[in-house]
Chains A and B, each alone.
Chain A
Amino acid sequence: MARRIELHGIYHSYVQGSVRQTVFEALSHTFAGAGSTAILGRSGCGKSTLLNLISGLDRPQRGRIRVDDQEITAYNEAQLALYRRRYVGIVFQSFNLVPTLSVGDNLRLPLELNGLPAKERERRVAEVLERVGLRELIDRYPEELSGGEQQRVAVARSVVHKPQLVLADEPTGSLDAENGTRAIELIRDTTVEGGHTLLMVTHSLAVAGYADTVLVLDDDGVLDEYREGIAW
């Protein structure tokens, strides 16, 4: 299963206050093959926007995005939602667990959206919680967890429905060093074990080091191979 993410001539900008910020002028890039890729970049360079464009949470003003055989830039809102629920798992910097659902329900949510039968859902939830080592927290609510625990739940949620693609946006950004390390190791291990393609963005070289491939996104919105000593 070849996972290919093709970006063709992406132009994207947004308005902040009264100033239009251009993020990408004409970004083209192809991520090919399985394994993990990290994109290094400074705050505000457009890393998160890139992930949002690939997850379909945001749309480029111009250009095309293909994920495998899916031209997601041609999708409407509902199609994008279906693409996300089947194809993509996301880990956010701020965890973004649904505060009104328990840990278990947060994990069941993607499974239910994908229409898995109840029995299978329970099996997978148990399995993935086992893997992230939080089995006993299944009935807790997010606000009752520590930050590290929340991010581990978020990681579990991103893979529980076995997506092709896991996108991680500064997964360690809200965690201390120790918890950050645990989280990134967990992300790497679970995606490798599950055979998911991982694409993460981070400003930390240390975090990026966990990926098979490291790219750099510069402030002009240009993507390039990471080379030792590069200024990014």
Chain B
Amino acid sequence: MVASLPFRACINGLLRYPLQAALAVLGLALGVMVFVAVDIATDGAQRAFRLSLDALSGRATHHIVAGAQGLPDTLYVRLRRELGLRQSAPVVETAVSYGTGVLQVLGVDPFAEQGFRSYFAADALQDNLWRRLLLEPGTVLIGARTAERLGVAMGERFTVQLNGRDVALTRVGTLDDATTRGIENVLVADIASVKELRDQPTRLSRIDLILRDEDADLRAAIEKRLPSDARIEAASARVRSVQELTRAFTLNLTAMSLLAVVIGVFLIYNTLHFTILRRHVTFATLRALGVTRRELLVSILLEAGLLGALAVCLGTLAGSYVADSLLALVSRTINDLYFAVSVSEASITGATVLKATLLGVSGSLLAVSVPAGEALFAPPAQTLMRRPIERRVTGWLLPLAAAGLLLVALSVLIAALSAGLSSGYAALAILLIGCSLLVPWSVVKLARALRRLVRHPMLRHTVGGLEAGISRIGVAEAALVVALAATIGVTLMIGSFRTAVDQWLSSTLRADIYIRPAQAVTGRDETRIEPAVIAAIRNMPAVSDISLGRFVELRREGGGVSLFAIELAGESYAGFHLLAERAQAWQAFDNDMAVFVSEPYAFHHRVQVGDVLQLPTALGEQGFAVAGIYRDYGSDQGVVLMRMSLYRRWWQDPGISSMGVYLKQSQDPQQAMGDIHALTGDVQQLSLRSNRELRAVSLEVFDRTFEITRVLRWLTTIVAVVAILTALSAVQLERRRELALLRGIGLTSRQLAGVLFAQTGLLGLFAGLLAMPVGVALSVLLVHVINRRAFGWSMDFVLDAKPLAEALALATLVALIAGALPVWRALRESPALALRGE
């Protein structure tokens, strides 16, 4: 147990520096806030999606799923009639756009629903609900919250867009929100209504099953009846595949947020180190009075733990507020890149609080362990006798730097020899730690070099002060360097990435106009362009050529495969940049059972040119040779590219999801787009984009994707600013007597301020200078290791001077701002008082 008075003696000692303590708590709280917000946001987005999946799956344990075409109705009928399979429910799903949002439409057979879903409120039996649902096309149930948000009243008819057509729906009832969490933005209708909405009147999206483990015979009987492209999938597999989909994305965000926490921990270290040094005499006195080392240690740890806990409380609270805005960013990015998810709110979970607490408190305890050890193992007799504690000021710099160098080397080794994303992050973390260990030594070296250059004694003193204060300032300086380096690294990485995407877009986008059905939902299999529309456009006089694309998701064990079937116009071929290919790759692509795969696909599935891909076709599993690997930044999961005729033969699907239109020389795209609208508007509403627009939109999505990264980067920098502020004010406190002495020997306030600002400015400048090489190294690692391992994208590293210069300016500015307060305090204090001592 901690005796109360020794602990009070400790904590009172800390509270004598309320600003330092407050800043430390603030810094760590900011770090925790970033972490908590990111955790809530990513977790919230995933949970919302999982919840809606759960709500849509109900109690189903398995799904029968198939490829783009879905399942034939007759399969369900056979299961029911031949196997008497009651635990089966047919589902037809689609998505429609309403305003700017997306609504999932779930078509179910109420007679088969028992045991699966419980959407229908007990008091739903009203106003002919059942009759209308079963008899009237387009009748739907909507959750009360969603209905309210959409502003759709009971009985109201409203128009949505499906596949570029307007579709009228009528709300005839209310889903039971209370029992169906996660059913936001879901419309439930009778299966017949949804079938009528879709173009495939005799197909089901899936069949839900409730299968127990012991139903192996039944399962086998079901499997015997499945078409070749269908299979039974565990309900949990869908959730897993979703998590898998966003794993790299969320990992990246989490890594960024951890950086903020680490910098926060730096801060705690800095403050506690400072206050503990200030209390050396107190500790020695307490020990002279018979307080044991262990009792003191417990007091110090308790103090650090309390600081950490306070920071965790504040950070968690702030984080849960910030999470909402972050959530918007996260879910928008997930919407752009992965799947339609609508997250209206995310609340903090116990797991997040636990993680934050562990991080914050253990970080603080770790931070305090070094100075605490230093204080406790200093011989009390010497401290009490005011004999200078032997501080080999320069002694520890070199070993530290050597250790840092070793870590940097280790990081390079790990990056070079390992393959996983986690080890990539490990290399990144080790690189940052190594570099931060190099910082104090480098600052001293820089200061010495500078001192050699200047002759003026005042300036020499100024620079010398940095060197002398390195034991105080070193950690904060390292934190600032790490934060700046992260900023530089991430900025350079995004810049390189953007350049690569831009180049890729300009080489890939060859057609003048791109067309797909007007619908907000991307990648939906049933999205298709009407054949009449295609024919009409092909025959337009201004059109020289067209290319056609069909994008489908194939389901197979262990996740989906995106298949892109193309019928290329002559010019389109040049748009594909093959990274690896076999001889006559294009000839094989055009004539053989051959496909190309995108770079991420090859990376994720470890596919090489010459391998054979097994794909689930409508006619059964079929092997396709990989003739080439092409560059593609469009999907981080990867795409299999196939010629249209091959796709049609094996999947028996004539649908077209997108087309590119090549105009004859000197035709105006805007004019042509107007003509196409006029020509096809009656048949189908199309989304037309000119080459330029599409490119702009793509880059816009790219920029949106990295917006959250930008926000996190700024938050991290703010934490670093707090760190440097804390450190500088600590140093100035430490040097009160020295500053007073300077004034005593006749320095004016202005001169003193000059000295102090020069010192802090130099610290910032040094941090900026040191952050440059670290940032570049970090960026190289991000581009060539992290991005490659997370997404499978390769790209060239582009060194841009602007972020480097910005970081330098930022660092100097930050340091000057951070120095203002201590300077002000130093000037305000009477030198006489300061000289009298503590």
**Residues of A that sit less than 8 Å from B by CB:** 14-16, 48-49, 52, 55, 57-58, 77-78, 81-86, 88, 90, 92, 94, 96-101, 105, 108-110, 112-113, 157
Question: In the assembled complex, which residues on chain A have CB atoms less than 8 Å from the CB atom of B384?
Answer: 52, 57, 92, 94, 96
Question: In the assembled complex, which residues on chain B have CB atoms less than 8 Å from the CB atom of A109?
Answer: 5-6, 9, 286, 289
Task: Check B9 against A84 for contact (C-beta < 8 Å).
Answer: no
Question: In the assembled complex, which residues on chain A have CB atoms less than 8 Å from the CB atom of B620?
Answer: none
> Which of A16, A58, A100 contacts B9, CB < 8 Å?
A100
Distance in angstroms from B389 CB to nearest chain A CB is: 12
Sampled A-B contacts (12; CB under 8 Å): A57-B384, A81-B290, A81-B293, A82-B292, A96-B284, A96-B285, A96-B288, A100-B8, A105-B5, A105-B8, A110-B290, A113-B5
**Residues of B that sit less than 8 Å from A by CB:** 3-6, 8-10, 12-13, 16, 281-282, 284-294, 379-382, 384-387, 390, 838
Distance in angstroms from B552 CB to nearest chain A CB is: 72
Task: Check A86 against B9 for contact (C-beta < 8 Å).
Answer: no
Task: Check B5 against A85 for contact (C-beta < 8 Å).
Answer: no
The 6 A-B pairs at the shortest CB distance, nearest first, are namely A85-B290, A100-B12, A58-B381, A84-B290, A81-B292, A52-B381
> Which of B3, B284, B288, B382 contacts A84, CB < 8 Å?
B288
Task: Check B387 against A113 for contact (C-beta < 8 Å).
Answer: no
Question: In the assembled complex, which residues on chain B have CB atoms less than 8 Å from the CB atom of A55?
Answer: 288
> Which of A81, A94, A112 contacts B386, CB < 8 Å?
A94
- Contacts A98-B9, A100-B9, A101-B9: A81 and B16 contacting too (C-beta < 8 A)? no
Q: In the complex, which of the residues A16, A83, A96, A109 has the most CB atoms of chain B within 10 Å of its own CB atom?
A: A109
Task: Check B9 against A85 for contact (C-beta < 8 Å).
Answer: no
Distance in angstroms from A157 CB to nearest chain B CB is: 8
Q: How far, in angstroms, from A113 to B288 measured CA to CA in the complex?
A: 12
- Contacts A58-B379, A105-B5: A100 and B385 contacting too (C-beta < 8 A)? no
Q: How far, in angstroms, from A94 to B284 measured CA to CA in the complex?
A: 13
Q: How far, in angstroms, from A72 to B290 measured CA to CA in the complex?
A: 14
Question: In the assembled complex, which residues on chain A have CB atoms less than 8 Å from the CB atom of B289?
Answer: 84-85, 90, 109-110, 113, 157
Question: In the assembled complex, which residues on chain B have CB atoms less than 8 Å from the CB atom of A90?
Answer: 288-289
The chain A residue with its CB closest to the CB of B388 is A16
Question: In the assembled complex, which residues on chain A have CB atoms less than 8 Å from the CB atom of B3?
Answer: 112-113
- Contacts A52-B381, A108-B5: A113 and B291 contacting too (C-beta < 8 A)? yes
Task: Check A77 against B285 for contact (C-beta < 8 Å).
Answer: no
- Contacts A57-B380, A101-B8: A48 and B385 contacting too (C-beta < 8 A)? yes
Q: How far, in angstroms, from A157 to B838 measured CA to CA in the complex?
A: 22
Task: Check B381 against A57 for contact (C-beta < 8 Å).
Answer: yes
Q: How far, in angstroms, from A38 to B249 measured CA to CA in the complex?
A: 75
Q: How far, in angstroms, from A85 to B6 measured CA to CA in the complex?
A: 13
Question: In the assembled complex, which residues on chain A have CB atoms less than 8 Å from the CB atom of B390?
Answer: 15
Interface of B is mostly: helix
Distance in angstroms from A34 CB to nearest chain B CB is: 22
Question: In the assembled complex, which residues on chain A have CB atoms less than 8 Å from the CB atom of B6?
Answer: 109, 113
Question: In the assembled complex, which residues on chain B have CB atoms less than 8 Å from the CB atom of A113?
Answer: 3, 5-6, 289-291
The chain A residue with its CB closest to the CB of B838 is A99
The chain A residue with its CB closest to the CB of B10 is A100
Q: In the complex, which of the residues A81, A86, A99 has the most CB atoms of chain B within 10 Å of its own CB atom?
A: A81
The chain A residue with its CB closest to the CB of B294 is A78
Q: How far, in angstroms, from A57 to B379 measured CA to CA in the complex?
A: 8
Task: Check A100 against B292 for contact (C-beta < 8 Å).
Answer: no
Question: In the assembled complex, which residues on chain B have CB atoms less than 8 Å from the CB atom of A52?
Answer: 381, 384-385
> Which of A15, A58, A77, A105 contacts B293, CB < 8 Å?
A77
Task: Check A98 against B380 for contact (C-beta < 8 Å).
Answer: no
Task: Check A98 against B282 for contact (C-beta < 8 Å).
Answer: yes
The chain A residue with its CB closest to the CB of B14 is A100
Distance in angstroms from A109 CB to nearest chain B CB is: 5
Q: How far, in angstroms, from A165 to B386 measured CA to CA in the complex?
A: 24
Task: Check A16 against B8 for contact (C-beta < 8 Å).
Answer: no
- Contacts A96-B281, A100-B282: A82 and B16 contacting too (C-beta < 8 A)? no
The chain A residue with its CB closest to the CB of B283 is A98
Question: In the assembled complex, which residues on chain B have CB atoms less than 8 Å from the CB atom of A15?
Answer: 390
Question: In the assembled complex, which residues on chain A have CB atoms less than 8 Å from the CB atom of B282?
Answer: 98-100
Q: How far, in angstroms, from A110 to B6 measured CA to CA in the complex?
A: 10
Q: In the complex, which of the residues A86, A90, A100, A110 has the most CB atoms of chain B within 10 Å of its own CB atom?
A: A100
Task: Check A57 against B291 for contact (C-beta < 8 Å).
Answer: no
Q: In the complex, which of the residues B10, B284, B290 has the most CB atoms of chain A within 10 Å of its own CB atom?
A: B290
Task: Check A78 against B293 for contact (C-beta < 8 Å).
Answer: yes
Distance in angstroms from A196 CB to nearest chain B CB is: 16
Task: Check B16 against A100 for contact (C-beta < 8 Å).
Answer: yes
Given A96-B281, A97-B285, A99-B282, 8 further pairs, Cβ under 8 A: A15-B390, A57-B287, A78-B293, A92-B285, A96-B288, A98-B285, A109-B9, A113-B290
Q: In the complex, which of the residues A14, A78, A99, A157 has the most CB atoms of chain B within 10 Å of its own CB atom?
A: A99
Question: In the assembled complex, which residues on chain A have CB atoms less than 8 Å from the CB atom of B385?
Answer: 48, 52
Task: Check A98 against B286 for contact (C-beta < 8 Å).
Answer: yes
The chain A residue with its CB closest to the CB of B4 is A112
Distance in angstroms from A112 CB to nearest chain B CB is: 5
Question: In the assembled complex, which residues on chain B have CB atoms less than 8 Å from the CB atom of A78?
Answer: 292-294
Question: In the assembled complex, which residues on chain B have CB atoms less than 8 Å from the CB atom of A92?
Answer: 285, 288, 384
Distance in angstroms from A143 CB to nearest chain B CB is: 8
The chain B residue with its CB closest to the CB of A105 is B5
Q: How far, in angstroms, from A85 to B288 measured CA to CA in the complex?
A: 8
Q: How far, in angstroms, from A107 to B59 measured CA to CA in the complex?
A: 70
Distance in angstroms from A14 CB to nearest chain B CB is: 8
Q: How far, in angstroms, from A105 to B11 measured CA to CA in the complex?
A: 14
Q: How far, in angstroms, from A105 to B285 measured CA to CA in the complex?
A: 14
Q: How far, in angstroms, from A205 to B540 measured CA to CA in the complex?
A: 119
> Which of A16, A84, A96 contacts B387, CB < 8 Å?
A16
Q: How far, in angstroms, from A82 to B284 measured CA to CA in the complex?
A: 15
Distance in angstroms from A200 CB to nearest chain B CB is: 16
Q: How far, in angstroms, from A97 to B289 measured CA to CA in the complex?
A: 10
Q: How far, in angstroms, from A41 to B811 measured CA to CA in the complex?
A: 56
- Contacts A81-B293, A100-B12, A100-B13: A57 and B5 contacting too (C-beta < 8 A)? no
The chain A residue with its CB closest to the CB of B386 is A94
Task: Check B293 against A57 for contact (C-beta < 8 Å).
Answer: no
Q: How far, in angstroms, from A55 to B288 measured CA to CA in the complex?
A: 8
- Contacts A15-B390, A58-B379, A81-B287: A101 and B5 contacting too (C-beta < 8 A)? yes
Question: In the assembled complex, which residues on chain B have CB atoms less than 8 Å from the CB atom of A86?
Answer: 290
The chain A residue with its CB closest to the CB of B387 is A16
Distance in angstroms from A57 CB to nearest chain B CB is: 4
Question: In the assembled complex, which residues on chain A have CB atoms less than 8 Å from the CB atom of B294?
Answer: 78
Q: How far, in angstroms, from A92 to B9 measured CA to CA in the complex?
A: 19
Distance in angstroms from A159 CB to nearest chain B CB is: 13
The chain B residue with its CB closest to the CB of A143 is B838
Task: Check A57 against B288 for contact (C-beta < 8 Å).
Answer: yes
Question: In the assembled complex, which residues on chain B have CB atoms less than 8 Å from the CB atom of A58?
Answer: 379, 381-382
Q: How far, in angstroms, from A49 to B382 measured CA to CA in the complex?
A: 9
Task: Check B292 against A77 for contact (C-beta < 8 Å).
Answer: yes
Distance in angstroms from B16 CB to nearest chain A CB is: 7
Q: How far, in angstroms, from A2 to B379 measured CA to CA in the complex?
A: 31
Task: Check B12 against A101 for contact (C-beta < 8 Å).
Answer: yes
